[in-house]
Homo-oligomer: A and B are copies of this chain.
Amino acid sequence: MRVAFAGLGVMGYPMAGYLAKAGHEVTVYNRTTEKAERWAQEFRGALSSTPGKAASDAEIVFACVGNDDDVREVILGDDGILASIPEGGIIVDHTTASAIVAREVAAAAAGKNVGFLDAPLSGGQAGAENGQLTIMVGGDEDTFERARPVMDAYAKAITLIGPVGHGQMAKMVNQICIAGVVQGLAEALNFAKRAELDVPKVIEAISKGAAQSWQMENRWETMAADQFDFGFAVEWMRKDLGIAIEESEKNGANLEMTKLVDGFYAEVQELGGNRWDTSSLIARLEN
Protein backbone atom coordinates (compact mmCIF):
# COMPACT_ATOMS: atom_id res chain seq x y z
CA MET A 1 0.00 0.00 0.00
CA ARG A 2 1.15 3.58 -0.61
CA VAL A 3 1.48 5.28 2.79
CA ALA A 4 3.08 8.41 4.19
CA PHE A 5 4.50 9.14 7.61
CA ALA A 6 4.97 12.65 9.04
CA GLY A 7 7.15 13.04 12.11
CA LEU A 8 10.30 10.94 12.50
CA GLY A 9 10.94 11.37 16.21
CA VAL A 10 12.05 8.60 18.55
CA MET A 11 8.67 6.93 17.96
CA GLY A 12 7.94 7.77 14.33
CA TYR A 13 11.36 6.88 12.92
CA PRO A 14 11.23 3.16 13.79
CA MET A 15 7.45 2.98 13.18
CA ALA A 16 7.85 4.24 9.61
CA GLY A 17 10.68 1.73 9.29
CA TYR A 18 8.38 -1.14 10.23
CA LEU A 19 5.91 0.02 7.57
CA ALA A 20 8.66 -0.14 4.95
CA LYS A 21 9.83 -3.56 6.19
CA ALA A 22 6.21 -4.80 5.92
CA GLY A 23 6.35 -4.05 2.21
CA HIS A 24 4.50 -0.73 2.04
CA GLU A 25 5.69 2.08 -0.21
CA VAL A 26 6.50 4.70 2.38
CA THR A 27 7.09 8.42 1.84
CA VAL A 28 8.24 10.32 4.91
CA TYR A 29 8.22 13.93 5.98
CA ASN A 30 10.15 15.40 8.88
CA ARG A 31 10.64 19.04 9.93
CA THR A 32 14.39 18.43 10.09
CA THR A 33 15.24 17.19 6.60
CA GLU A 34 18.48 15.45 7.64
CA LYS A 35 16.51 12.91 9.62
CA ALA A 36 14.18 12.19 6.70
CA GLU A 37 17.23 11.72 4.46
CA ARG A 38 18.79 9.32 6.92
CA TRP A 39 15.50 7.39 7.15
CA ALA A 40 15.05 7.24 3.36
CA GLN A 41 18.55 5.86 3.01
CA GLU A 42 18.19 3.30 5.81
CA PHE A 43 14.82 1.98 4.66
CA ARG A 44 15.07 2.70 0.92
CA GLY A 45 11.98 4.90 1.03
CA ALA A 46 11.03 8.28 -0.39
CA LEU A 47 10.96 11.67 1.31
CA SER A 48 9.08 14.89 0.69
CA SER A 49 9.72 18.47 1.72
CA THR A 50 6.19 19.08 3.07
CA PRO A 51 3.55 16.87 4.72
CA GLY A 52 1.21 17.69 1.83
CA LYS A 53 3.64 16.45 -0.81
CA ALA A 54 4.26 13.25 1.19
CA ALA A 55 0.50 12.65 1.38
CA SER A 56 -0.33 13.46 -2.23
CA ASP A 57 -0.63 9.87 -3.48
CA ALA A 58 -1.02 7.98 -0.21
CA GLU A 59 -3.95 5.82 0.86
CA ILE A 60 -3.12 6.17 4.55
CA VAL A 61 -1.09 8.97 6.11
CA PHE A 62 0.31 8.69 9.63
CA ALA A 63 1.33 11.61 11.81
CA CYS A 64 3.35 11.40 15.01
CA VAL A 65 4.34 14.88 16.13
CA GLY A 66 4.63 16.90 19.34
CA ASN A 67 1.44 18.56 20.46
CA ASP A 68 -1.92 20.03 19.43
CA ASP A 69 -0.36 22.90 17.47
CA ASP A 70 1.94 20.54 15.59
CA VAL A 71 -1.04 18.33 14.73
CA ARG A 72 -2.95 21.32 13.37
CA GLU A 73 0.04 22.47 11.34
CA VAL A 74 1.01 19.12 9.85
CA ILE A 75 -2.57 18.06 9.04
CA LEU A 76 -4.57 21.27 8.56
CA GLY A 77 -1.82 23.67 7.42
CA ASP A 78 -1.50 25.10 3.91
CA ASP A 79 1.12 22.49 3.03
CA GLY A 80 -0.52 19.97 5.31
CA ILE A 81 -1.71 16.42 4.81
CA LEU A 82 -5.39 17.26 4.32
CA ALA A 83 -4.61 19.70 1.49
CA SER A 84 -3.27 16.85 -0.66
CA ILE A 85 -4.38 13.42 0.52
CA PRO A 86 -6.58 11.78 -2.15
CA GLU A 87 -10.30 11.53 -1.45
CA GLY A 88 -11.22 8.30 0.37
CA GLY A 89 -7.91 8.22 2.20
CA ILE A 90 -7.30 7.91 5.95
CA ILE A 91 -5.30 10.07 8.34
CA VAL A 92 -4.09 8.32 11.48
CA ASP A 93 -2.74 10.61 14.20
CA HIS A 94 -0.38 8.82 16.61
CA THR A 95 0.41 12.02 18.51
CA THR A 96 -0.78 12.21 22.13
CA ALA A 97 -2.92 15.32 21.82
CA SER A 98 -6.23 16.65 23.11
CA ALA A 99 -9.59 15.13 22.25
CA ILE A 100 -10.55 18.61 21.04
CA VAL A 101 -7.94 18.69 18.29
CA ALA A 102 -8.91 15.13 17.35
CA ARG A 103 -12.54 16.19 16.82
CA GLU A 104 -11.47 19.35 15.00
CA VAL A 105 -9.25 17.47 12.56
CA ALA A 106 -11.82 14.67 12.10
CA ALA A 107 -14.49 17.22 11.13
CA ALA A 108 -12.20 18.91 8.63
CA ALA A 109 -11.22 15.53 7.16
CA ALA A 110 -14.84 14.38 6.89
CA GLY A 111 -15.56 17.51 4.86
CA LYS A 112 -13.12 16.21 2.26
CA ASN A 113 -14.29 12.61 2.46
CA VAL A 114 -11.13 11.58 4.33
CA GLY A 115 -11.26 9.25 7.35
CA PHE A 116 -9.57 10.11 10.64
CA LEU A 117 -8.40 8.09 13.64
CA ASP A 118 -6.85 9.45 16.82
CA ALA A 119 -4.45 6.70 17.80
CA PRO A 120 -2.09 7.58 20.65
CA LEU A 121 0.56 5.05 21.59
CA SER A 122 1.85 3.40 24.69
CA GLY A 123 4.92 1.26 25.02
CA GLY A 124 7.46 4.05 24.69
CA GLN A 125 10.62 4.18 22.64
CA ALA A 126 11.38 0.52 23.30
CA GLY A 127 7.91 -0.46 22.08
CA ALA A 128 8.40 1.55 18.90
CA GLU A 129 11.86 0.08 18.28
CA ASN A 130 10.61 -3.47 18.82
CA GLY A 131 7.39 -2.96 16.86
CA GLN A 132 5.42 -3.83 20.00
CA LEU A 133 3.33 -0.73 20.62
CA THR A 134 -0.09 -0.59 22.20
CA ILE A 135 -2.49 1.66 20.27
CA MET A 136 -5.71 3.18 21.64
CA VAL A 137 -7.94 4.29 18.81
CA GLY A 138 -10.85 6.67 18.43
CA GLY A 139 -12.87 6.71 15.21
CA ASP A 140 -15.50 4.80 13.27
CA GLU A 141 -15.31 1.07 12.80
CA ASP A 142 -14.91 1.01 9.00
CA THR A 143 -11.96 3.38 9.05
CA PHE A 144 -10.48 1.42 11.96
CA GLU A 145 -10.76 -1.91 10.13
CA ARG A 146 -9.06 -0.49 7.05
CA ALA A 147 -6.15 1.00 8.99
CA ARG A 148 -5.66 -1.79 11.52
CA PRO A 149 -3.77 -4.26 9.26
CA VAL A 150 -1.29 -1.51 8.37
CA MET A 151 -0.71 -0.52 12.01
CA ASP A 152 -0.10 -4.20 12.80
CA ALA A 153 3.41 -3.62 11.40
CA TYR A 154 4.45 -1.92 14.67
CA ALA A 155 1.81 -2.91 17.25
CA LYS A 156 1.19 -5.77 19.61
CA ALA A 157 -2.29 -4.58 20.57
CA ILE A 158 -4.69 -2.21 18.80
CA THR A 159 -8.01 -1.40 20.49
CA LEU A 160 -10.88 0.67 19.09
CA ILE A 161 -12.11 2.45 22.21
CA GLY A 162 -14.96 4.45 20.70
CA PRO A 163 -15.67 7.50 18.52
CA VAL A 164 -13.09 10.14 17.57
CA GLY A 165 -11.39 11.56 20.66
CA HIS A 166 -11.76 8.40 22.71
CA GLY A 167 -8.29 7.17 21.79
CA GLN A 168 -6.86 10.34 23.33
CA MET A 169 -9.10 10.03 26.38
CA ALA A 170 -7.98 6.42 26.93
CA LYS A 171 -4.37 7.61 26.81
CA MET A 172 -5.21 10.16 29.51
CA VAL A 173 -6.68 7.38 31.67
CA ASN A 174 -3.38 5.54 31.18
CA GLN A 175 -1.29 8.55 32.21
CA ILE A 176 -3.42 9.29 35.29
CA CYS A 177 -2.89 5.70 36.48
CA ILE A 178 0.85 6.05 35.92
CA ALA A 179 0.99 9.30 37.91
CA GLY A 180 -0.46 7.54 40.96
CA VAL A 181 1.59 4.38 40.61
CA VAL A 182 4.91 6.21 40.18
CA GLN A 183 4.33 8.68 43.01
CA GLY A 184 3.33 5.85 45.37
CA LEU A 185 6.39 3.86 44.36
CA ALA A 186 8.62 6.95 44.74
CA GLU A 187 7.39 7.65 48.28
CA ALA A 188 7.63 3.95 49.16
CA LEU A 189 11.23 3.61 47.92
CA ASN A 190 12.22 6.87 49.58
CA PHE A 191 10.71 5.59 52.82
CA ALA A 192 12.54 2.26 52.45
CA LYS A 193 15.87 4.01 51.94
CA ARG A 194 15.38 6.37 54.88
CA ALA A 195 14.39 3.42 57.07
CA GLU A 196 17.62 1.71 55.89
CA LEU A 197 15.77 -1.35 54.64
CA ASP A 198 17.27 -3.90 52.25
CA VAL A 199 15.38 -2.58 49.21
CA PRO A 200 15.84 -5.64 46.94
CA LYS A 201 14.44 -7.88 49.69
CA VAL A 202 11.49 -5.58 50.27
CA ILE A 203 10.69 -5.59 46.55
CA GLU A 204 11.08 -9.37 46.46
CA ALA A 205 8.56 -9.64 49.27
CA ILE A 206 5.93 -7.21 47.96
CA SER A 207 6.22 -7.54 44.19
CA LYS A 208 3.74 -10.39 43.77
CA GLY A 209 0.88 -8.96 45.82
CA ALA A 210 -1.54 -6.05 46.01
CA ALA A 211 1.24 -3.44 45.63
CA GLN A 212 2.52 -4.94 42.35
CA SER A 213 2.72 -2.83 39.21
CA TRP A 214 4.51 -2.65 35.86
CA GLN A 215 6.36 0.37 37.23
CA MET A 216 7.52 -1.57 40.30
CA GLU A 217 8.75 -4.47 38.17
CA ASN A 218 10.47 -2.33 35.55
CA ARG A 219 11.56 0.78 37.44
CA TRP A 220 12.30 0.00 41.11
CA GLU A 221 15.94 -0.72 40.47
CA THR A 222 16.69 2.39 38.44
CA MET A 223 14.63 4.51 40.84
CA ALA A 224 16.52 3.15 43.85
CA ALA A 225 19.77 3.95 42.00
CA ASP A 226 18.63 7.45 40.89
CA GLN A 227 19.02 6.58 37.20
CA PHE A 228 16.64 8.49 34.97
CA ASP A 229 18.54 8.98 31.73
CA PHE A 230 16.15 6.98 29.52
CA GLY A 231 12.48 6.35 28.90
CA PHE A 232 9.46 8.63 28.67
CA ALA A 233 10.52 12.22 29.41
CA VAL A 234 9.04 14.37 32.18
CA GLU A 235 8.25 17.16 29.70
CA TRP A 236 6.06 14.78 27.66
CA MET A 237 4.39 13.44 30.77
CA ARG A 238 3.58 17.01 31.82
CA LYS A 239 2.10 17.69 28.38
CA ASP A 240 -0.12 14.61 28.73
CA LEU A 241 -1.17 15.37 32.31
CA GLY A 242 -1.90 18.95 31.25
CA ILE A 243 -4.28 17.65 28.58
CA ALA A 244 -5.97 15.37 31.13
CA ILE A 245 -6.33 18.18 33.66
CA GLU A 246 -7.74 20.53 31.03
CA GLU A 247 -10.22 17.87 29.93
CA SER A 248 -11.24 17.22 33.56
CA GLU A 249 -12.23 20.85 33.90
CA LYS A 250 -14.82 20.18 31.22
CA ASN A 251 -16.10 16.76 32.24
CA GLY A 252 -16.02 17.37 35.99
CA ALA A 253 -13.58 14.58 36.90
CA ASN A 254 -11.69 15.12 40.15
CA LEU A 255 -7.95 14.83 39.45
CA GLU A 256 -6.67 16.06 42.80
CA MET A 257 -3.75 13.66 43.08
CA THR A 258 -2.94 13.97 39.37
CA LYS A 259 -2.64 17.74 39.78
CA LEU A 260 -0.39 17.28 42.80
CA VAL A 261 1.87 14.92 40.85
CA ASP A 262 1.93 17.29 37.87
CA GLY A 263 3.29 19.92 40.27
CA PHE A 264 5.88 17.42 41.50
CA TYR A 265 6.99 16.91 37.89
CA ALA A 266 7.40 20.68 37.60
CA GLU A 267 9.75 20.49 40.60
CA VAL A 268 11.68 17.68 38.87
CA GLN A 269 12.06 19.96 35.84
CA GLU A 270 13.54 22.60 38.14
CA LEU A 271 16.06 19.98 39.29
CA GLY A 272 17.16 19.66 35.65
CA GLY A 273 14.95 16.67 34.92
CA ASN A 274 13.05 17.88 31.86
CA ARG A 275 14.35 14.95 29.82
CA TRP A 276 14.47 12.40 32.67
CA ASP A 277 12.23 9.34 32.69
CA THR A 278 8.80 9.61 34.31
CA SER A 279 10.08 7.53 37.23
CA SER A 280 12.25 10.49 38.33
CA LEU A 281 9.52 11.66 40.75
CA ILE A 282 11.70 10.09 43.42
CA ALA A 283 14.48 12.63 42.71
CA ARG A 284 12.68 15.49 44.47
CA LEU A 285 12.20 13.35 47.58
CA GLU A 286 15.90 12.81 48.00
CA ASN A 287 16.95 16.41 48.21
Total copies of the chain: 2
Max chain B CB contacts within 10 Å: which of A124, A180, A189, A212?
A180
User: Residue A22 at the B interface, CB < 8 A?
Assistant: no
Size bin of chain A's contact surface: 35 or more
Q: Is the CB of A285 within 8 A of B254?
A: yes
Residues of B within 8 A of A218 (CB): 210
Least Cβ–Cβ distance between A253 and chain B, in angstroms: 4
User: Residue A173 at the B interface, CB < 8 A?
Assistant: yes
Q: Tell me the bound Cα distance from A247 to B211 in angstroms.
A: 19
- Give residues 163-193 of A contacting B (CB, 8 Å): 166, 169-170, 172-185, 187-192
Residues of B within 8 A of A274 (CB): none
User: Residue A66 at the B interface, CB < 8 A?
Assistant: no
Q: Is the CB of A197 within 8 A of B169?
A: yes
User: Residue A225 at the B interface, CB < 8 A?
Assistant: no
Residues of B within 8 A of A183 (CB): 180, 184, 257
User: Residue A1 at the B interface, CB < 8 A?
Assistant: no
User: Residue A215 at the B interface, CB < 8 A?
Assistant: yes
Prevailing SS type, chain A contact patch: helix
Residues of B within 8 A of A252 (CB): 194
Q: Is the CB of A214 within 8 A of B212?
A: yes
Q: Is the CB of A170 within 8 A of B210?
A: no
Least Cβ–Cβ distance between A152 and chain B, in angstroms: 15
Instruction: Indicate with 1 or 0, residue by residue over A240-261, a CB within 8 angstroms of chain B CB atoms.
Output: 0000100110011111111011
User: Residue A30 at the B interface, CB < 8 A?
Assistant: no
Q: Tell me the bound Cα distance from A184 to B88 in angstroms.
A: 41
Q: Which residue of B lies closest to A99 (CB)?
A: B195
Q: Is the CB of A208 within 8 A of B157?
A: yes
Least Cβ–Cβ distance between A183 and chain B, in angstroms: 5
Least Cβ–Cβ distance between A218 and chain B, in angstroms: 8
Residues of B within 8 A of A162 (CB): 197-198, 201
Q: A136-B205, A166-B198, A169-B191 provided; 13 other pairs, C-beta below 8 A?
A: A159-B204, A161-B198, A170-B192, A170-B206, A183-B257, A190-B254, A191-B244, A191-B247, A191-B248, A191-B251, A194-B251, A210-B215, A212-B213
Q: Tell me the bound Cα distance from A259 to B184 in angstroms.
A: 11
Least Cβ–Cβ distance between A162 and chain B, in angstroms: 5
Q: A159-B204, A161-B198, A253-B190 are in contact. Are A174 and B210 (CB under 8 A)?
A: yes
Q: Is the CB of A216 within 8 A of B177?
A: yes
Instruction: Indicate with 1 or 0, residue by residue over A15-49, a CB within 8 angstroms of chain B CB atoms.
Output: 00000000000000000000000000000000000
User: Residue A149 at the B interface, CB < 8 A?
Assistant: no
Q: Which residue of B lies closest to A286 (CB)?
A: B254
User: Residue A134 at the B interface, CB < 8 A?
Assistant: yes
